[in-house]
Amino acid sequence: MIKIGIILGSTRPGRRGEQVATWVHETASRRTDAEFALVDLLDHPLPHLDEPTPALMSPGRYQHEHTRAWADTIAAFDGFVMVTPEYNQSAPGVLKNAIDYLYAEWNNKAAGFVSYGIVGGARAVEQLRLVCGALQIADVAPQVTLPLQTEFEDYTVFRPGAHSAGALDTLLDHVVAWSTALAPLRAAAPVAVAAT
């Protein structure tokens, strides 16, 4: 069965992303077409990229244990839903750093985006889509954008509307379908992970 990782891309104190990621995970877990797991970047503390060789040039050959553990986590999934805030019209640095640690482990997988912020996090997703292209991740067109003004009570307590739930279902349909469709490509190019 296809495995989808729901990546919570914020680690800052008081983050709203935990509420959003829990909603995504609870909604996704009711489905029977894939397995879903929450991946909180707080559980994967990665220093600013500290591998001496770029992952593109040495797939699976990592110097640091934290990189090998992160590579094992990402390699286990067939696709992703990235839950991201928008900071300064971009994705948070901690999410970009986590993405940059790896290359081959991301290849031939699908990704969808659930974003939140003043304009629903749309600008963060625009930039993440460019990064996905460089990593050979098929980013799906549907996305969920959650404006702080309408989806969060007093800008802090997450209260998703019915339209957001429908958008999430559509996004999950696409991530599962694309992750399934890309399975032959993943099988043809297995990743050597955690090698030293």
The answer for residues whose C-beta is within 8 angstroms of residue 192's C-beta and 6 or more apart is 59, 60, 61, 104
Instruction: Please write the tens of the pLDDT for every residue from 91-126.
Output: 999 999 999 999 999 999 999 999 999 999 999 999
Q: Which of 100, 104, 112 is nearest to 34 (CA)?
A: 112
Radius of gyration, alpha carbons of the chain: 16
Which pLDDT score, from 0 to 100, does residue 59 have? 81
Mean pLDDT of the chain: 95
In percent, the amount of the chain with pLDDT more than 70 equals 96
Task: Please answer whether residues 156 and 35 qualify as being in contact, where contact means their C-beta atoms are separated by less than 8 angstroms.
Answer: no
The amino acid occupying position 69 is: A
Evaluate if residue 194 carries a pLDDT over 60: no
Which pLDDT score, from 0 to 100, does residue 176 have? 98
Tokens of 164: 């957001």
Evaluate if residue 195 carries a pLDDT over 70: no
Task: Please answer whether residues 80 and 172 qualify as being in contact, where contact means their C-beta atoms are separated by less than 8 angstroms.
Answer: no
Which pLDDT score, from 0 to 100, does residue 60 have? 83
Which pLDDT score, from 0 to 100, does residue 192 have? 52
Q: What is the pTM of this model?
A: 0.94
| Local structure of 175: helix, strand or coil | helix
